Chain A
Amino acid sequence: MIEFSDVRKAYPDGTVALQSLSLTAREGEITVLVGPSGCGKTTTLRMVNRMVDPSSGTIRLDGVDVSTQDPPTLRRGIGYVIQNAGLFPHRTVLDNVATVPVLLGRSRAEARSAAGELLERVGLDPRVGSRYPAQLSGGQQQRVGVARALAGDAPVLLMDEPFSAVDPVVRADLQDELLRLQSELGRTILFVTHDIDEAIRLGDMVAVLRVGGTLAQFAPPADLLAAPVDDFVAGFVGRDRGYRRLQFVGAGSLALSSFPTTGDGWLLVVDDDGRPTGWRQGDDHVALGTVHEEGESLRSALDAALSSPSGRGVAVDEDGKVIGGIEPEAVITLLHASAEPAR
């Protein structure tokens, strides 16, 4: 658990990076700090491992005031991932990952074998261990950066725009990978980004910061989308927040319709196992659009309906067999029903 109490950071030239921040990053959760540049989010993160010291206020890590601890010792107990990975060019990938365990006094051989396992854990072929960072792609380097931060078994992870420098497809992979890892490891993660989509995707809690270093809103992502506190947050979470909110609403009780089996309209083509393969109308064939799988959110349900030529989306069970059709109206009805108790 990381607790910020009335933390303020002002520089000698008078610039105030952070007004007065109080928030708590809960144990085992991903807390995202998001905001435009100049909002003090990186400064906030760097105060946890004393890369920056606050002008006033206290930061407690599991109840202990970090300012009472020796910086190198403190830092060895906190995982640290930065934007361009910051791998050491002169060391192999394996030795990069083994950095903190070696600093902590473990033997190099032991640290290396643990590092090999970590590479697999972050989705890399352990054979890359013998390469040098310059021989890896940006996405691979970033995975190594994450492995290196996990190597010390630190319960707390600081991630400063770790995925900002890679292309969108790789970024999405890395985000999925982080969520998968987090579901296995349950670390306390403080994550900084300027990308609200990333914040909403990854955060259990999201803190939106304003330029000048004030906290605008601290809430779970669904609440941020449903009820932004002011115009700044509303503007920052973006124009299609209504649509994006759908991803936080379960489609469990969605009313399904049945598909027509004959007629002049679009007919769903199904293979022998009951799995959908495409659409047919007379001699016209169209590929399947989005298919909504049981257990997914309303966002995929609505997208299934919108991407179907018949206007009726395909819902399947976990084996991929058709279980019914999705009318857009049913999605909207369920959305209204789910929003009501919250108001």
Chain B
Amino acid sequence: MLSSLIAWFGAPAQWSAAAGIPTRLLQHLGYTALSVLVGAVIAVPVGLYIGHTGRGRLLVVGLANGLRALPELGVLVLFVLLLGLGLTPVVLALMLLAIPPLLAGTYAGISGVDPAAVDAARGMGMTERQILFGVELPNALPLMVAGLRTATLQVVATATIAAFVSLGGLGRYIVDGQAQRDFTQMAGGAILVALLAIVLEVALQGVQRAVTPGTRARPASDPATPAVGKPDTVTAGG
């Protein structure tokens, strides 16, 4: 099994052919990025609004749990029946998966900002818009990126279903492998999906660290500076 896998990955055609691994990988990334982006366009503004005003909190919880419970393949088939084959039903189905973590992360990030900082901002004469974009959003970024991480992982793992409706992506190897009873190909596809998920996870962890407030410009000249540490408590406090 291992030797056949190595042979599968090693075949030059896998890396050069029009339907080789690089193409499938890019297609897979493309479905993932598009679905998460569309999900974010919907979830982030709603999360910002709910987090800032405190209105509609129950909606977030209900919606997030409801969407999580949907059977993804069933939803995809439903969209295909409604819209026909193509990219749109796939992106819509995957988007539904991306919305709950993005919405929850945005809402939790905004509503978790230190209420004293928000009170001070308002008391100093910031407009509601300045408070949201100048104080709440920058401090909510770590939790928002955490939501993005979860959304991306779920979508990248589930984007294999695109192959069920005649699209490409890494799911092709799994669907075709199963049809041809070629388990090496199936395993190869699964490994590629897993590797892609790990790479995205590490990259987004880096992004999350980079956006955590109060850690960007620690003065190197001052060794006595107490450790910043606890970035989570800074944003999740109160």
Contacts and interface: CB of A to CB of B under 8 A. Distances in A.
Among A72, A100, A135, A145, which residue has the most Cβ atoms of chain B within 10 A? A135
Given A82-B116, A132-B228, A135-B228, A99 B214 contact: no
B125 A89 contact: no
B225 interface: yes
Contact of B226 (A49, A77, A100, A135): A135
A74 interface: yes
A130 interface: yes
Given A87-B117, A90-B135, 7 more contacts: A75-B124, A83-B116, A88-B117, A103-B125, A127-B222, A131-B218, A134-B234
Nearest to B211: A90
A189 interface: no
Interface string B134-169: 010011000000000000000000000000000000
A-B residue pairs, 4 tightest by C-beta:
A86-B120, A90-B213, A76-B125, A132-B214
Given A89-B114, A134-B234, A75 B123 contact: yes
A82 B124 contact: no
A49 B122 CA distance: 10
Contacts of B130: 103
Interface residues of A, number: 34
A193 B104 CA distance: 38
Contact of A72 (B125, B139, B219): B125
Given A130-B217, A134-B214, A86 B114 contact: yes
A80 B123 contact: yes
B234 A89 contact: yes
B127 interface: yes
B235 interface: yes
B225 A131 contact: yes
Interface string B91-119: 00000000000000000000000101111
B126 interface: yes
A89 B222 contact: no
20 contacts: A51-B119, A75-B123, A80-B124, A86-B114, A86-B116, A86-B118, A86-B119, A86-B121, A88-B117, A90-B135, A92-B217, A131-B218, A132-B214, A132-B215, A135-B214, A135-B218, A135-B225, A145-B120, A148-B120, A152-B124
A88 B215 contact: no
B123 A82 contact: yes
A85 interface: yes
Interface in A87-128: 87-90, 92, 99-100, 103, 127
A84 interface: yes
A76 B114 CA distance: 21
Contacts of A51: 119, 122-123
B117 A73 contact: no
B126 A89 contact: no
Given A73-B125, A135-B226, A80 B116 contact: no
A133 interface: yes
Contact of A89 (B213, B217, B218): B213
A88 B234 CA distance: 10
Interface string B26-40: 000000000000000
A88 B135 contact: yes
A85 B235 CA distance: 16
B135 A134 contact: no
B107 to A, nearest CB: 19
Given A89-B234, A89-B235, A132-B214, A76 B139 contact: no
B214 to A, nearest CB: 3
A297 B17 CA distance: 94
Contacts of B218: 131-132, 135
Given A51-B123, A90-B213, A103-B125, A130 B219 contact: yes
B214 A75 contact: no
Contacts of B114: 84, 86, 89
Contact of A133 (B118, B214, B217, B230): B214
Interface in A154-201: 158
Contacts of B127: 72
Contact of A100 (B117, B125, B217, B228): B125
Nearest to B122: A51
Among B127, B214, B234, which residue has the most Cβ atoms of chain A within 10 A? B214
B75 to A, nearest CB: 38
A86 B226 contact: no
Nearest to A77: B125
Nearest to B225: A135
B138 A82 contact: no
A74 B217 CA distance: 34
Among A76, A88, A127, A130, which residue has the most Cβ atoms of chain B within 10 A? A88
Interface in A231-259: none
A89 B116 contact: no
A288 B234 CA distance: 47
Nearest to A71: B125
B137 to A, nearest CB: 9
Contacts of B226: 135
B90 to A, nearest CB: 37
Contacts of A87: 117, 120
